[in-house]
Amino acid sequence: MISFALSPQQKQIKELVHWFAQHEVRPLALEADRLGRVPEEWLQKVNKMGIQLNTSSFGGGRSASAAGQKPEKKEREGNRVAVIAAEELAWGCPAIALSLPGPGLGGPPIQSSGTPEQKQRFLSIFTKDEPRWGAYALTEPEAGSDASGIRTTARKVDGGYVLNGQKIFITNGARASWVVVFATVDPKLGRAGHRAFVVEKGTPGFTATRTVHKMGLRANETAELVFEDCFVPAENLLGGEELYSAPAHQPSGFQVAMKTFDSTRPIVAAMAVGIARAAYEYTLEIVRRDYPKQGRLYYEAAELLAEAEQEIEAARLLTWEAAWKADIGEANAMEAAICKAVAGKMALHVCAMCLELLGPVGLDGHLVEKLYRDVKVFDIFEGTQQIQRLVTARRLYAPYGVHV
């Protein structure tokens, strides 16, 4: 049975990351939101401290069926460490957490599907010398939740592929040293035609056209990427040609993308838990301090906050389960979808409730108002509520031969 007690190492990591979130991240949160960016000098400082958003080693470890292979049933802690740390960082500020240097969401597909040479080449650049970022580009104007509908094309030529298309809402996309890009060799092949490429910054034909102004996560860079006759050498095809021609499982770029979500959805869920917890704790302190200790309003607030505590705890435990299953080498696609759906919806509800309880204290320029704007996307990216229900339903009905 899964243990809900943190190991001494996990407790230490939780305490260290919380200290960083409390003393380095939270004090910067409102100003970074107002400016719409994280100060470069701060990013330089934390990079020298060795703090990075690295979902490859900091978590996001290979799930059971990544790249069609089943790992040994040997328990690890990488995924659990990731969700513990992600919750604390998001408690400080989710936009700043997503802006930390490191491979970010681009790390897991390289870690799970890349060749040894690709792992060395693309992941070894993240050192303390200077801040560097990686990125993950799947979403397109006509293919968001339906990732199978991507239209960015990859035409095979001598020595590699030529990419044409557009990607939108790409976290750290303009500053990234490389981007994991999903494209199709033939739209008629559907998912079987998908391939994953690592496109390096400065490649001719690859441009970041603009960064996007958003309702929330304003301090985090979100870019649109354009590929116009962009030549990508064959050695940048993630996993190499043999990965896509192996007769045992015949994977596609679509499968690489979906297996990435099995690792990253629990991290996103953990960040939603951290945002909800931040709003809840801030509101609880205000209520305890400022509300009259007797009277209807005090007791109504206490009841609502108790409900918030229950919802946060439930979402956290679902998230830990999904991370634990990945760590022991078991398929966790359904658990990853469930925790992401529950945590996103929960965090929306808790932040809205806290905003209502605070009244004028929660207006523009205050922490909970910012968290309320930030949290909305956690119910959308990495798959909407509808997508998570579809993933869950497919796995519930699959044993009965019913396709959903």
In 5-55, beta strands by DSSP E: none
Q: Which two tokens stand for residue 296?
A: 């209807």
Q: Which two tokens stand for residue 96?
A: 């700043």
d(CA 51, CA 370): 24
- The sign of the torsion formed by the CA atoms of 18, 23, 28, 29 equals positive
With b for 16 or more beta-carbon neighbours within 10 A and e for fewer, the 356-375 pattern comes to: ebbeeebeeebbbbbbbbbb
pLDDT score for 213: 86
How does pLDDT run across 160-176, given as a tens digit for each residue?
Answer: 999 999 999 999 999 99
Q: Which two tokens stand for residue 8?
A: 């001494």
Outline where 50-176 has alpha helix (H).
78-92, 94-99, 107-113, 116-123
Residue 127's CB is within 10 A of a number of other CB atoms, namely: 12
The mean pLDDT of the chain is: 87
Q: Has 382 been annotated as catalytic?
A: yes
- The sign of the torsion formed by the CA atoms of 149, 154, 156, 159 equals negative
H-run or E-run covering 74: none
pLDDT score for 59: 37
H-run or E-run covering 210: strand 206-211
How does pLDDT run across 319-329, given as a tens digit for each residue?
Answer: 999 999 999 98
H-run or E-run covering 317: helix 296-327
Cα separations (Å) of 294 from 281, 305, 308, 309, 389? Answer: 21, 16, 21, 21, 43
pLDDT score for 290: 80
Q: Is 329 left (phi over 0), alpha (psi -120 to 50) or beta?
A: left
Which residues, given as ranges, of the chain have pLDDT below 50?
1, 55-74, 248
Chain centroid, CA 228 distance in Å: 27
* Domains of the chain in sequence order: 8-59+75-124 (1.10.540.10), 134-252 (2.40.110.10), 254-400 (1.20.140.10)
pLDDT score for 305: 95
Q: Which of 140, 224, 311, 382 is catalytic?
A: 382
pLDDT score for 362: 67
Phi, psi of 349 (to 5 degrees): -65, -45
For the purposes of burial, counting CB atoms within 10 Å of the CB of 164, is it exposed (0-12), middle (13-18) or buried (19 or more)?
Answer: middle
